[in-house]
Structure 1
């Protein structure tokens, strides 16, 4: 395998990882900012108040976007990795 093919496949794999992780990370960021603002406004500094809603929101987004993640990974594997393995 040439270096160019290896690095191109690695770049594609990293981009797929970014696409898959982006929805959950964005929801965690938005939820964290909203909870942080609410804590600042109410002066309630409870650790579980930040953790539990963030985990719940991330689980909900994971459940909703699970089909997108699976389809993206399967497409990358079928279109990018399998031909490289079969081609030698």
Structure 2
């Protein structure tokens, strides 16, 4: 296996990581901004108020995107296994 092939596998792995984690990260960001806006408008400065809505929203997003994430990871794993079997 050449250095270029290793870099290609690593690059695909990083893109897979970004694609799989993007839905949860985006939902966490949106929920955090909404809760921060709510806190700023009502002047409620409770630090723990942000965590529960974020955790619930990310958990629901994870459940909804689980088939998509599994398919993306399975596709990447199939590419890696094919490269192992073929030898390059």
Q: Normalization by structure 1: what TM-score?
A: 0.95
Runs of 4 or more above 2 Å deviation: none
Aligned partner of 2:85 in structure 1 is 86
Count residues in correspondence.
Answer: 87
The SS at the match of 1:64 is helix
Task: Give runs of aligned pairs for residues 49-60 of structure 1, distance below 5 A.
Answer: 49-60=49-60
User: What's the C-alpha RMSD, in Å, of the aligned pairs?
Assistant: 0.7
TM-score normalised over the length of structure 2: 0.95
Q: Where does structure 2 lack aligned partners over 5 or more consecutive residues? A: none
- 2:50 aligns to what SS in structure 1? helix
Which residue of structure 1 lines up, in the alignment, with residue 64 of structure 2? 64
Query: 2:28 — aligned with what?
Result: 28
Aligned position for 1:47: 47
